Structure 1
Amino acid sequence: MKWTLLALTGAGALGAGYLGLGAMRPSCDGGSCETPEVRAAHRLVPALVAGSSKAPEGVYLEARDATVWGGACHISSEAVSGGRRAALGWSFTGGSHDGVDLAGTQVVAVLEGSCNLQGGEVFATGEKAEVSSQIWVDAPSELVRNAALAFVTQIADLGSILDVHLAEVTVDYENDQFVMGVEDSLSVKGEALPDRSCCTMPESRWYEPLAEVDESVVGNPRECRFEGVAGSLGRWSFEGENSVFVASIASE
């Protein structure tokens, strides 16, 4: 089953659609001029936007088809042959966006670029990749899916979104072990660098996460493969290298 994203134009558009009750408040200079209907609508707003003041929180994972932390020669050898593909995953453990509770929702986006996704920045090539993506969402309702999609597209450039699928998605990180998966399409498993050398030797970290995140560390996948999507994204795998970012979802 697929759910096609028809009009994702940003968080503001979605928020206005769901929470437009505020527009019913009359403009008055002094005194109360609210009608009974408007007052009733205002009493409903807290229930609709409960928890809206709490920013989304949870786990972020990102797997690349290139090493993100390593020696200069190693990194440069992959500059052209790799770096064009990435899988980004979010697992929301709490918080909300546009007044919608995101807890329990998981999203994975797989990106493919016309060239290295960050080559222009890292290697000063001046190139900017044209990016296409496919997205998978595991959420309890269309309302939650819309809010989650609005949030992730706000904090990450996913390029041209070709399709959005409803699927069973896994994004998890515990005791330095990470897992990201989409049914039979994507499987990423591994661990964060136990000595955190990516933090003590930042000069060897060439890339940064493609999404806004907090406190990222580098991981090494023992398994990382994407089976592709017919007619849009190709198959790829990249295992046994320092090619994963593990982080917390960025606060709004």
Structure 2
Amino acid sequence: MTCKPLLLAGCLTILAATPGFGAEISGEYLEARSCDVWTGPCFANGEIGLSGKEAVLAWKVDKGSWQGVELKNLSAVLVIKGEDTLGFGGSFRISPDPIESVILVDKKANQQQRDALVAFVKYSAKKLTQHVKRVESTDIQFKNDHVEGVGVLKAGDLAEIETRELRHGDCICTNEDIFYPPLTDVDNYHPAFTKQLKYTGKGLNQTWELPGQRSAFLATFEK
């Protein structure tokens, strides 16, 4: 039985606590999608083209600045909807373009910080932000616990992610592994079970609530 994430999470926490030398900005990352990312080929084949077209991504800056603007302790969220399964780097040929998106920025940010957060998100997720439909400020609460596999994101009443660690009972095919990598360039990533994935905001002509999937990643970032 392949349950690699169960063995890796503790080690990743140690790595996550030490930003790389020369990093301008670093922090925590959380992602959840509407299809399993930790799965076997049989399940992935059944979902391709039918699910996985939606995702919520979040960054929390622990240290650093962007474009000369201090962003410590501020967060940003990217909500996306594609035309096909969002599977960059996976084993199937997928064409999710065009991808529409909404950016949510921390309401604690001033205008200069808000602009810098938007620029940071666009830089970090170039493929996913070609068609930004809306930018909105909201209260953002975000915390990752890499040891427990618990990530919690609440972006006002607009977006939500809650995860737990993957367990042996989550293995169905017995050959599960990371089938799709994260949608952005991140470090120390490991998959988790999504207890809740929700978007109720405007801009995408669609809302969703998708609990109970093996569809999340906890990670760190530095740039």
Superposition TM-score, scaled by structure 1 size = 0.70
1:121, CA displacement in angstroms? 4.8
- Residue from 104, 112, 115 that aligns with 1:136: 104
For the 8 Å contact 1:178–1:192, the answer to whether it is kept is no
CA RMSD of aligned residues (A): 2.4
**Structure of greater relative contact order (alpha carbons < 8 Å, 6+ residues apart):** 2
1:100, CA displacement in angstroms? 1.4
For the 8 Å contact 1:172–1:180, the answer to whether it is kept is yes
Bigger strand fraction: 2
- Residue from 199, 202, 214 that aligns with 1:242: 214
| Deviation per residue, 1:178-205 (Å, 9 max, x gap) | 111211122211223368x99xx99721
Matched, 1:99 2:71: no
1:171, CA displacement in angstroms? 2.0
Match for residue 3 of structure 2? none
Matched, 1:156 2:125: yes
Q: Any stretches of 5+ residues in structure 1 without a counterpart?
A: 1-52
Q: The residue matched to 2:195 in structure 1 has which SS?
A: strand
**How many pairs align?**
194
Match for residue 10 of structure 2? none
Match for residue 51 of structure 2? 82
Q: Note closer, same or farther for the CA distance 1:183–1:128 as it changes in structure 2 (3 Å cut).
A: closer
Q: Distance in 1 between matches of 2:47 and 2:154?
A: 25
Q: Any stretches of 5+ residues in structure 2 without a counterpart?
A: 1-21
Q: Distance in 2 between matches of 1:55 and 1:248?
A: 14
For the 8 Å contact 1:228–1:236, the answer to whether it is kept is no
Q: Distance in 1 between matches of 2:70 and 2:175?
A: 36
Q: Note closer, same or farther for the CA distance 1:80–1:228 as it changes in structure 2 (3 Å cut).
A: farther
| Deviation per residue, 1:2-41 (Å, 9 max, x gap) | xxxxxxxxxxxxxxxxxxxxxxxxxxxxxxxxxxxxxxxx
Q: Could you say which structure has the larger radius of gyration?
A: 1
Q: Note closer, same or farther for the CA distance 1:111–1:55 as it changes in structure 2 (3 Å cut).
A: same
Q: The residue matched to 1:122 in structure 2 has which SS?
A: coil
**Once the two structures are aligned, what percentage of the paired residues are identical?**
28
For the 8 Å contact 1:135–1:163, the answer to whether it is kept is yes
Bigger helix fraction: 1
Matched, 1:168 2:139: yes
Match for residue 115 of structure 2? 146
1:233, CA displacement in angstroms? 3.5
| Deviation per residue, 1:137-179 (Å, 9 max, x gap) | 0042111111222122112132300111011112211243211
Match for residue 29 of structure 2? 60
- Residue from 131, 141, 151 that aligns with 1:178: 151
Match for residue 116 of structure 1? 85
